[in-house]
Structure 1
């Protein structure tokens, strides 16, 4: 069923689920700014990334969620991200199949190493291997917690297993 696009959207899912692609697509289509939670945690510099202090990270996230419209995407479901869940008009949980995510992780790494695709980080083999670990941890630990939170707190949530069909959901 199609619905009007909300002003504040939180997209969550594992590594390779399609969060960034969906956020960029919705941002461009509906002229809503999008933010990657990784960039809330890290200050990006040409000389290397610097982790923000918890206070700076929380202040930055608060500034974002207090604006009228935004799309926030990330795999983070920690307590510090809670304000974006609470302020979201819609939470999109990308629950793509594990095999699809694994394929995307491999494809992304190859494209980044070949410099066909940009990355906010240096695509090292260590990070590549970590993505599989993060994917597994998300599936076993984060996913059940997210589902419990959105159900328990009755947050408006859309669970999408195939984000290729996202146009079906929005006008």
Structure 2
């Protein structure tokens, strides 16, 4: 049986799971544009980001999912994100360990503060502390919610638990 081409990919995972890195790398290899859901959610300002309304977010996301190809990455489990799961050819869940995500949060913050890594947000100490809170929240609440919300898309859900899973999936593309 011939594999169906994959043009629409939604990558989901906690802060520090590797979503952005994976999306950017896949985009480079495939030429498919990648989008961070956070940029649909937030109006970026130098001083403070402003959250859009759910209707604005839904419209922004709708304008992406109606295109021919995309890679969307994000951690949101609001009802409006369902439209990207629905249109996706494949949903990739990066189920990176809590410990690995915690280390990546620390590493990312240091790199951003030293100017080695660019961020779409202001890397403040408060945001740094929030990332640990969000990481814990993901482990206890959001992961379960995500898995429940994507049950109807089970046939297109890929769960990647480690680098070996990732390499296997990429080699089978």
1:123 matched to which residue of 2? 123
The SS at the match of 1:140 is helix
1:107 matched to which residue of 2? 107
Structure 1: runs of 5+ lacking an equivalent: none
Cα deviation for residue 57 of structure 1 reads: 1.5
1:24 matched to which residue of 2? 24
RMSD over aligned CA atoms reads 1.8
Cα deviation for residue 48 of structure 1 reads: 4.4
Cα deviation for residue 168 of structure 1 reads: 2.7
**RCO comparison, higher one (Cα < 8 Å, 6+):** 1
Cα deviation for residue 125 of structure 1 reads: 0.6
TM-score, structure 2 normalization: 0.90
Structure 2: runs of 5+ lacking an equivalent: none
Cα deviation for residue 153 of structure 1 reads: 4.4
Cα deviation for residue 155 of structure 1 reads: 4.5
CA distance in 2, matches of 1:144, 1:161: 15
TM-score, structure 1 normalization: 0.91
CA distance in 2, matches of 1:16, 1:163: 14
Aligned length: 169
Q: How does 1:59-138 map to 2 (within 5 A)?
A: 59-138=59-138
Counterparts in 2 of 1:79 and 1:101: CA distance versus 1, 3 Å: same
1:15 matched to which residue of 2? 15
**1:150 correspondence with 2:150:** yes
**Bigger CA drift: 160-169 or 75-84?**
160-169
CA distance in 2, matches of 1:22, 1:163: 11
